[in-house]
Amino acid sequence: MLDATSSYKPMDRRIPVDDRTGHRIVPETIRRSDRAPENRYGNRPTMKDVAARAGVGLKTVSRVVNGEPGVTPETERRVQEAIDALGFRRNDSARVLRKGRTASIGLVLEDLADPFYGPLSRAVEEVARAHGALLINGSSAEDPDREQELALALCARRVDGLVIIPAGDDHRYMEPELKAGVATVFVDRPAGQIDADCVLSDNHGGARDGVAHLIAHGHRRIGFIGDMPRIHTAAERLRGYRAAMEDAGIPVEDSWMSLGVTDPERVRRAAEEMLTGPSPVTAIFAGNNRVTVTVIRVLAEQTRRVAFVGFDDIELADLLQPGVTVVAQDAAALGRTAAERLFRQLDGTLVTPERIELPTRLITRGSGELPPAD
Amino acid sequence: MLDATSSYKPMDRRIPVDDRTGHRIVPETIRRSDRAPENRYGNRPTMKDVAARAGVGLKTVSRVVNGEPGVTPETERRVQEAIDALGFRRNDSARVLRKGRTASIGLVLEDLADPFYGPLSRAVEEVARAHGALLINGSSAEDPDREQELALALCARRVDGLVIIPAGDDHRYMEPELKAGVATVFVDRPAGQIDADCVLSDNHGGARDGVAHLIAHGHRRIGFIGDMPRIHTAAERLRGYRAAMEDAGIPVEDSWMSLGVTDPERVRRAAEEMLTGPSPVTAIFAGNNRVTVTVIRVLAEQTRRVAFVGFDDIELADLLQPGVTVVAQDAAALGRTAAERLFRQLDGTLVTPERIELPTRLITRGSGELPPAD
DNA sequence: CCTGGATCTGACAACGTTGTCCAGGCCCTA
DNA sequence: TAGGGCCTGGACAACGTTGTCAGATCCAGG
């Protein structure tokens, strides 16, 4: 074994040096040994290779690739030919390292598969594209740790900015990043423990309007099913529900509220309990789209007609019997507004963090206009 | 002017050199002038800064950051302290440049806002995450040029691999990339003009089954509304429709087919025409989810009961009256399978490009089982 | 023929990280 | 106590690109 290792040692450790440049001359075999070949991107051609083939200098290739002026058409042609022949493509990692800007922004969202976030994500992408930036995204799956991990990974990639749909409620981990100049906008839910830009829907007002709508149609015993109050949107909507009830002078019974419930099985149970309890509700307000779809299923099975209003619009809501009345928020507008603020931060146009609330819209389709039946 | 420029010229062009290290000593003001300050990421601390603060060597910091062995707990603690104090975050661009792998994969899809692609995208992300990679994505908006632009931009970022939902039908632009070792998997639709891995649904078989289902319930005049046949999935589904009709010995009339139609207005007109034409259909087969939602709206307005089967499942399909019978494809499975093949390409486990077809599933809910009414 | 200016081209350093290699200190054994 | 191996730490080059700056070339005007 000692023999084996020692046999790899070159006899003379001194490395020959080029007299003119002072550069070390290292045999190709040794030089290459420092690269782990399996780690390379299949040895793609570099500008150096293109330059050699076109018989020009490195910088000239760079100029052609970037469309900088000061290159004769003839030279440009030769370089372009070499580029095509070699299949050269500029290495943006090196470019980023040199230039300091990545022309990409990150999006941390909760779940790409949720139909609410698709349009939001798409809107962010469109704005990014208009500014020549790429979008890198990741799903936190509603896990605060994963949100942090993702956000910081994106910062390590040196994204120019970050749009975050928070899963957690403590974002102090972003402080060094903000200080370092990473543009950041929180969307859908506010940042926790730090002062940052955020773009929200008017969750409180929307929920209040929705519940008031039910009250206006004669309901007094109204149920609320929503997510955990530690989630800002859920808390605000609950607050809106309470506000509407209080405005109407209706005392809320505990059995009418079910919090922290989103998975279909538990939503179903919660809905059934409030419909059959000692003080059965005549209407239900759902805190988000996932709750809505389950509650609708439960209501479809009831013989009694129960009124319903949901937060978030859902597809085909108009085709159901009755049509589903909802408080709609504009996911695309949320994404667009957030992304635009992000780029204004990057421009330097924007300095003071603000909280922006976008209005919601009550869409009446039938289910919310049913009279109390008891 | 000559004076002005010459005044910036140092008298002596030779640059002072440190005797010990041989490094050139350059005055700070000159060194900094080469950076464009507005391009820097707010002067984030580097490993060098951390090393200086912790009083250790550069490589030691690198070891701590990467959890490499060979650092005493005491040294590690000092380094960690410096990292926290300075808010250091490793620059992954530099890391990528050095290591050659980006630990990220790209996804080029058609439209993030389409509910079909949400789960697909999410599935790709989950697989990527399991392999420690980030997902960078972009929407082609069904535009072949934009698809190419995006795919090549991702290659310039040196993503390790690429999952592409093709918009175009000529992918020769990817040839240099494939040669350079960029792992590539096409999903939902096959690659055009090149030999590459692809993962598809059984569009032909699914459509044939769906149409055969209508035929089995007594229908003979069946309409087909789908996308442009230049899109592979649309062509295959049309072929499935024709096959089912032919199997049953039913000649297809031109007025029963509407191709290249997806926007709601035109779908509506197409559906109405086949319902009222000289040879009115008693059933409609829809080629994708967007067509489905519009056709359902049109059918809901009809007095006559028209049978319906759609390709792609839609949310709440079971709650409509009647329930919507569909040929469902598993978007998540498509994404998962594609991403897994991608990483097997990167492992080197996979060499020959293959075409994989995933089965579809007919879900009967009522609309496809209506008898002909004419 | 020379000079001055404009235009084009290329040499070189630097961006921040990691792999390699070597030096020095330590411990263990003979 | 000498000689070895092991452990820790640091110097240095290289990754591929771009900004700077100076050299080369060419032309017009004297």
Q: Does B122 touch chain A (CB under 8 A)?
A: yes
Read off the pLDDT of each residue in A233-252 and give the average, rounded to a whole number: 97
Q: Would you call A134 and B117 a contact, using CB atoms and an 8 Å cutoff?
A: no
pLDDT at B71 over 90: no
Q: How far is A341 from chain B (nearest CA, A)?
A: 19
pLDDT at B210: 98
Q: Which of A125-139, A357-371, B204-218 has the lowest mean pLDDT?
A: A125-139
Smallest Cα distance from A186 to chain B, Å? 20
Q: Which of A207-211, B284-288, B293-297, B343-347 has the lowest mean pLDDT?
A: B343-347
Peptide bond into B322 cis (omega under 30): yes
pLDDT tier at B230, thresholds 50, 70, 90: confident
Q: Is the CB of B297 less than 8 angstroms away from the CB of A319? A: yes
State pLDDT tens for residues A40-67.
Answer: 445 789 999 999 999 999 999 999 999 8
Q: How far is B71 from chain A (nearest CA, A)?
A: 23
**B62 beta carbon to strand C: under 7 Å:** yes
The per-residue pLDDT for range A186-198, each reduced to its tens digit, is 999 999 999 999 9
Centroid of chain to Cα B209: 28
Whether any strand D atom is under 7 angstroms from the Cβ of B5: the reply reads no
Question: Using one digit for the tens of pLDDT, what is the confidence trace for A126-147?
Answer: 999 999 899 998 899 889 999 9
Residue-wise pLDDT tens digits, B161-183: 999 999 999 999 999 999 888 99
Measure A49 CA to C21 C1' (Å): 29
Cα(B150)–Cα(A134) distance, integer angstroms: 9
A8 versus B158: the higher-pLDDT residue is: B158
Q: What is the mean pLDDT of residues B108-119?
A: 90
Work out the percent of chain A whose per-residue pLDDT is above 70: 89
Q: What gap in Å lies between CA A270 and CA A283, rounded to an integer?
A: 13
Check residue B253 and report its DSSP letter.
Answer: P
Given this model, what pLDDT does residue B17 score?
32
Q: What is the mean pLDDT of chain B?
A: 86
Asked if strand D comes closer than 7 Å to B98 Cβ, the answer is yes
Which of these ranges, A233-247, A359-373, B131-145, B218-232, has the smallest mean pLDDT?
B131-145
Query: Does the CA dihedral B222-B227-B230-B234 come out positive or negative?
Result: negative
| B113:A96 CB<8 A | no
- Residue B3 CB neighbour total at 10 angstroms: 6
Nearest chain A residue to B37 by CA distance is A100
pLDDT digits (tens, 9 = 90+) for A314-342: 988 999 989 999 999 999 999 999 999 99
Judged by a CB distance cut-off of 8 A, whether residue A293 touches chain B is yes
Percent helix, strand and coil across chain B, each to the nearest 5: 45, 15, 40
D16 closest protein residue (CA to C1'): A94
Contact of B179 with chain A, judged by CB distance below 8 Å, is answered with yes
pLDDT at position A19, please? 31
| A297 in contact with B, Cβ within 8 Å | yes
Q: Once rounded to an integer, what is the mean pLDDT over residues A66-79?
A: 90
Q: Separation of CA B12 and C1' D23 in angstroms?
A: 18
Cα angle value B275/B279/B284 (rounded, 5°): 40
Give B253→chain A minimum CA distance, Å.
31
According to DSSP, the β-strands at A361-363 and A325-328 are: antiparallel
Return the pLDDT at B42.
56
Q: Is the CB of B77 under 7 A from strand C?
A: no
pLDDT-derived band at B44 (thresholds 50, 70, 90) equals confident
Across residues A231-240, what is the average pLDDT? 95
pLDDT tens for A146-185 read 999 999 999 999 999 999 999 999 999 999 999 888 999 9
pLDDT at B333: 97
Facing A91 at nearest CB: one of B158, B179, B319: B158
Q: What is the pLDDT of residue A138?
A: 87
pLDDT digits (tens, 9 = 90+) for A279-327: 999 999 999 999 999 999 999 999 999 999 999 999 889 999 899 999 9
As a whole number, the mean pLDDT across chain A is: 86
Any A CB within 8 A of B133 CB: no
What residues of chain B, 38 to 67, have a C-beta less than 8 Å from chain A? Answer: 39-42, 44
Over residues B287-312, the mean pLDDT reads 95
CA angle A82, A86, A92 (to 5 degrees): 100
Nearest to A39 among B87, B100, B111 (CB): B100
Number of helices and strands in chain B (H, E): 14, 12
Domain architecture of chain A: domains with CATH? 2-90 (1.10.260.40), 102-201+332-358 (3.40.50.2300), 203-330+361-369 (3.40.50.2300)
pLDDT attached to residue B101: 83
Per the CB < 8 Å rule, is B93 touching A102?
yes
Percentage with pLDDT > 90 across chain B: 74
Q: How far is the alpha carbon of B228 from chain A, nearest alpha carbon, in Å?
A: 24
Q: What is the mean pLDDT of residues B221-241?
A: 95
C-beta of residue A222 within 8 angstroms of C-beta of residue A372? no
Is the predicted pLDDT of residue B331 greater than 50, yes or no? yes
Q: How many other C-beta atoms lie within 10 A of the C-beta of residue B307?
A: 26
Report, in ranges, which bases of strand C sit under 7 Å from a protein C-beta. 5, 7-22
Q: Is A159 helix (H, G, I), strand (E, B) or coil?
A: coil
> Protein A28 CA to nucleic acid D27 C1', in Å?
46
The predicted structure's pLDDT at residue A42: 56
Summarize pLDDT for A83-114 with one digit per residue, the tens.
999 999 999 999 999 988 888 999 999 988 88
